[in-house]
Amino acid sequence: MKRRPLMKQRYLSKRFLSAVAMAFGLLLGSVSAQAAEESALMSSGASVRDQASLQRGAKLFFNYCVGCHSLKYVRYSRIAEDLNLSEQDVMQNLNFTGGKFDDQVISHMPADSATKWFGKAPPDLSLEVSAKGEDWVYTYLNSFYLDPHSPIGWNNTVLPNAAMPFPLAELQGLQTAVMKPGTTDVVEKLEISHPGTMTPAQYQQSMRDLTSFLEYASEPAALQRAHYGIWVVLFLAFFTLLAYVLNKEYWKDVH
């Protein structure tokens, strides 16, 4: 009779250890799956500190994306200020929606029409990079291919069965999917079947610019933080030096 509590305790300990091992295994599996997914992404090399890249990316967005996608958290005036553009530059070369200089960047495509054409309204892209990361966005923009089985004629290896047609085909060209041997639905790689107006290197640079602009749009204040951060670091360095000198001067007679 005295051994039963001990046996029960051992049984509960085994169950606890099994539960911990299972939870740890699930955690490792989740981390491994995430690492595998991230390793499949291309490195964007995007940078919000490259103003020329941001300007080129803005031009691409407003020429190819704003017809369907909005940037509701960004205003034309803010873009002009942050990207060192004049009001005339923005209103003549970037504003194709008829908005005013202080307006938000809003697409004029009616949501009900977009839903009818594409199955759902195109998402606002203000926070796209914040939500999915710059590498995901960059890889997505490089991964469209022709798919005769898709209702829109296009597919994407990063986001299969995406409802978005490919607006940048004239730049990149037409890509076709090469399936993994022995399969009919697993894409091994993409190949250019009809070249576009850009070489592969030029297109990748353009998508790097576009990704940089979308990264900026997701957090415009990051540019100001980077600018002020340098002065904050310099102030702290100066203050530390001043405090050291004053401390040394204050205690010199004591020692």
Q: What is the DSSP string of 53-112?
A: HHHHHHHHHHHHTTTT--EEEEEHHHHHHHTT--HHHHHHHT--S---TTSEE---S-HH
Residue 98 included in any domain: yes
Residue 34 included in any domain: no
Q: Each residue of 202-254: pLDDT tens digit?
A: 999 999 999 999 999 999 987 666 555 565 677 677 778 778 777 777 787 77
Residue 11 included in any domain: no
211 with 232, same domain: the answer is: no
Query: Residue 36 above 50 pLDDT?
Result: no
116 with 152, same domain: the answer is: yes
Query: Residue 14 above 70 pLDDT?
Result: no
Query: In angstroms, rounded to a whole number, what is the distance separating the alpha carbons of residues 184 and 147?
Result: 12
> Residue 93 is part of a domain; what is its CATH number?
1.10.760.10
- Structural domain range at position 63: 51-219
- Give the list of residues 6+ apart from residue 189 with CB closer than 8 angstroms, or none: 177, 178
pTM of the model: 0.75
Q: Each residue of 44-57: pLDDT tens digit?
A: 999 999 999 999 99
114 with 237, same domain: the answer is: no
90 with 125, same domain: the answer is: yes
122 with 174, same domain: the answer is: yes
193 with 244, same domain: the answer is: no
Residue 2 included in any domain: no
Confidence of residue 4 (pLDDT cuts 50, 70, 90): low
Residue 238 included in any domain: yes
161 with 103, same domain: the answer is: yes
Query: Residue 170 above 70 pLDDT?
Result: yes
Average pLDDT, the chain: 84
Residue 19 included in any domain: no
Residue 202 included in any domain: yes
CA-based end-to-end distance of the chain: 75
- The count of domains in the chain is 2
Confidence of residue 15 (pLDDT cuts 50, 70, 90): low
Q: What is the pLDDT of residue 42?
A: 97
Q: What is the pLDDT of residue 118?
A: 83
